Copies of this chain bind each other. A is one copy, B any other.
Amino acid sequence: SRLEETVKKTITDNPVVVYSKTWCSYSSEVKSLFNRLRVQPLVVELDQMGAQGPQLQKVLERLTGQHTVPNVFIGGKHIGGCTDTVKLHRKGELEALLAEAKNT
């Protein structure tokens, strides 16, 4: 679908993408982790785009199997949610993924 193509293009064209909801604390937590790492993700606030929000969430669920927010992509790869991203950071693996994504 057109929306699916948009999502695929967004995650390919931007090193880090976070699909979020403005009022969700887990979404805020993952955004502030990237801030601390001096990374400027592309943030798409699903609750600020009217009817397209839920449609986008359905596309994300089809593409990733994940219907929850935050939904994080790095270097075009699906990372998962907040806990997944924080775990990678704790293991020191997030920085390598970010460095690799920046150079592509």
Residues in A lying within 8 Å of B, measured CB to CB: 24-26, 82
Contacts and interface: CB of A to CB of B under 8 A. Distances in A.
A36 to B, nearest CB: 17
Copies in the complex: 2
Nearest to A82: B25
A35 to B, nearest CB: 18
Contacts of A25: 24-26, 82
A26 B24 CA distance: 9
A49 to B, nearest CB: 19
A25 B26 CA distance: 7
6 contacts: A24-B24, A24-B25, A25-B25, A25-B26, A25-B82, A26-B26
